[in-house]
Chains A and B, each alone.
Chain A
Amino acid sequence: MIDFTLTPQQKQLREMAHAFAQGVMRPYAMEADRIEDAPKAYLQQAMALGVGLDLGGAPGQSGAERADDRPQERTANRNGVLLAEEIGWGDPGLALALPGPGLGGPPVALMGTPAQKEKYLGMFRGAKEPMWGAYALTEPEAGSDVSGIRTSAKKVEGGWILNGRKIFITNGGRAAWNVVFATVDPTLGRAGQRAFLVEKGTPGFTCTRILHKMGLRASETAELLFEDCFVPDENLLGGEAQYQARSNGPAGFRVAMQTFDNTRPVVAAMAMGIARAAYEYTLEILRQGYAPTGHFYHSARERLAEMYRKIEAARSLVWEAAWKGDIGEPNSKEASMSKAYAGRVSLEVCAMGLELLGPTGVVDHPVEKLYRDCKVFDIFEGTNQVQHLVVARRLYAAHGIRV
């Protein structure tokens, strides 16, 4: 059966997120872009309302509540994309700046020991000050090629010594903890990878700089340095036994990838939210400025219809990927398709919006900002090209062809 209706709870969730996006996020969006940071007042308001971000599940109730593994009909993925679309619509930079475990949530929830979940997800429960988690995989020399990471983990008495550099880490500098991927032996490839929970302030761990970007400027993008950074045994994510179980492939890397299956539809939903915002802004201005007759309105109408169609198509892919995730079916292919498509659509829709708006759009207007913001949705969480590789692998694997 195919059914696109939302449950009453989902509708309510979406309305709440929308109200937050409109009432709390949007008023700060332009300022945040200018100051390249999330304004304190915004973070405080989010905290007061209990709104946080956990890209593995539902932003709104930061992941802590999923620390125990109660069996139940999962709706986390679907709820997650519904909410992500709204906060992307509100402001994508401010969305990623929301306090909470963020991208760091899924690996901890998927793989953490009960004690790790309690400590690192539990800390968000009832937090008074804004706090973040982060996910540190990318390195200067290892972006698309995640198996090529070089940050080293050396076993020592009672723990591990990390050495290396991470780049482009969202909230990496301000985070209470980072999930840091490292390798015990680069020649082992994926099998050598381990993930560690590294707390802020750990000696040997520093944030070396914050990157200045074309867009998404409200969101912190950090470069991290690990110099003989000691991490105790209990911070090896999931415990060593996890990494020895080879039956399903190497665990460290699998966690990194499983994380993406969960987060890509969420990221795609945000991109779609951006596109919807750009569409609505454009429509609003055209409504104000042009009589619905005449040549211009005619060609604009066609454009508007095209923008809308692309957004709807993206939403279908996103919802399907999330639904598959919820019912426990493999969804890498759908997750990648949704991300590649929605990332592209968001850029196309913003570009069309700018075209219709003319100069109004390029001077200090939200659509100008959204256009700068959305380009990165084609890049992070796996570039568009990498998504295509993932999809192609899944398609051809069935025929015994490796690509």
Chain B
Amino acid sequence: MDFSESPEHRQMREMVRDFARREVAPGAAQRDQQEHFDRTLFERMAALGLTGIPWSEKYGGAGADFTSYIIAMEELAKVDASLSVVLGAHVSLCSWPIDRFGTDEQKERFLTPLAEGRALGAFALTEPGAGSDAAHLQTRAQRQGDTYLLNGQKTFITNGGAADTYVVFATVDPSKGAHGVTAFVVEKGMPGFSFGKEIHKMGIRSSTTQELLFENVEVPIANRLGQEGEGFKIAMATLDGGRNGIAAQALGIAEGALEAAIAYAKQREQFGRPIADFQAIQFKLADMATAIEASRLLTYHAVWMEDHGGGHGMASSMAKLFASDTAMQVATQAVQIFGGYGYTVEYPVERFMRDAKITQIYEGTNEIQRIVISRALLK
């Protein structure tokens, strides 16, 4: 067992941290208030090689491991959870299934521009009537010769509208349930593919979340990922890895909140001394740090498994469940430590608190994680 960070990992952390502090942090509050997704930040991430960290150099990636990607997610989330969501959807939800299930030709066509950051990616599974219960999605894919006709609607799609490349799940036969689900790569601009309502959210407000509308969209067979009926498996496998990303994001939010709370507690004086002198505050900080450390271990263990042969499904669920609950608690306590100031938009902790909530919900709500974990235990 070895808990030290390799030189490459340390380098990645320092590089992303530097970028995050210098270029991402300064505008984060304003972007949040204006609900503004800033594409130039994505382009900066592309320039730094963050948009394709775990993919082979052959396809424009950095050829690094998933741990490196998780480090980037964590460091970004410490200052701006929204940007980490943008990267998370791009890398683990959109690029990952293409890398894993795509043909060489598909990888060249779709993965390379994604990895190089020339295209922004999104993942479209959720529908108004099918969230946690993804097997019963309604979007139809009807085979017509060499193409599929896609009809239906997706909702809550991160990077929706802004993204160029969408991994979309549709069913070739609703009566088959999960066995009918099939994955496709749909590109922005395809006739019949449009965007619906933009969704206003409590947190991660500077990442876009939008509805997608498919009206007789002709998708060539060359854009199908895997075989007909393999889509559900692809979606679930994608979410297993994606959960590590959410765990890292939650970890980063919690760390950002703790860091802010410690600095504030040392500097804020009441009753003639820093509030950090009060045991009520000290114990809060101790509990926050302990939960964060546990989240960190769960998260890095899960991604270590992913890097070393897989089988990380349950570990990822545990990491996501625990780290997101921790983020919520830690951010809420950070607001408390800031007192009235924490409630204003002048300090980042209220944003951390709003951002933390979604980590308990997406990529499988925490209830779904509990189902995954308990099923594995009771098998």
Contact = CB atoms under 8 A, between A and B. Distances in A.
B269 A212 contact: no
Interface residues of B, number: 40
Interface in B318-361: 328, 332, 335-336, 339-340, 342-346, 350, 353-354, 357-358, 360-361
A362 B271 contact: no
Interface residues of A, number: 40
A347 B328 CA distance: 12
A379 B270 contact: no
Interface in B111-159: 131-132, 156
B294 interface: no
A244 to B, nearest CB: 27
Interface string B271-291: 110000010110000000000
Nearest to B329: A351
Interface string B255-280: 00000000000000111100000101
B41 interface: no
A362 B343 contact: no
A299 B33 CA distance: 36
Interface string A207-219: 0000111111000
Given A214-B345, A351-B328, A375-B343, A362 B270 contact: no
Contacts, number: 98
B343 A145 contact: no
Nearest to B345: A212
Contacts of B280: 385, 388
Contact of A296 (B269, B344, B367): B367
A208 to B, nearest CB: 14
B366 A363 contact: no
B339 A362 contact: no
Nearest to A347: B332
B202 interface: yes
Contacts of A379: 335-336, 339-340, 342-343
B179 to A, nearest CB: 22
Contacts of B201: 362-364
A376 interface: yes
Nearest to A365: B202
A280 interface: no
A358 B270 contact: no
Nearest to B336: A378
B340 A143 contact: yes
Given A144-B271, A212-B345, A215-B343, A375 B199 contact: no
B203 interface: yes
A243 interface: no
B162 to A, nearest CB: 18
Contacts of B269: 141
Nearest to B209: A363
B365 A214 contact: no
B374 to A, nearest CB: 11
A372 interface: yes
Contact of B340 (A138, A355, A362): A138
Interface of B: 33, 131-132, 156, 199-203, 209, 269-272, 278, 280-281, 328, 332, 335-336, 339-340, 342-346, 350, 353-354, 357-358, 360-362, 365-367, 371
29 contacts: A142-B270, A143-B270, A144-B271, A148-B271, A167-B340, A168-B340, A212-B345, A213-B345, A214-B335, A214-B343, A214-B344, A214-B345, A214-B353, A214-B354, A216-B343, A295-B371, A296-B367, A355-B360, A358-B361, A358-B365, A362-B202, A363-B200, A364-B199, A372-B354, A375-B350, A376-B343, A379-B340, A379-B342, A383-B339
Interface of A: 138, 141-145, 148, 167-168, 211-216, 221, 295-296, 299, 347, 351, 354-355, 358-359, 362-364, 368, 371-372, 375-376, 378-380, 383-385, 388
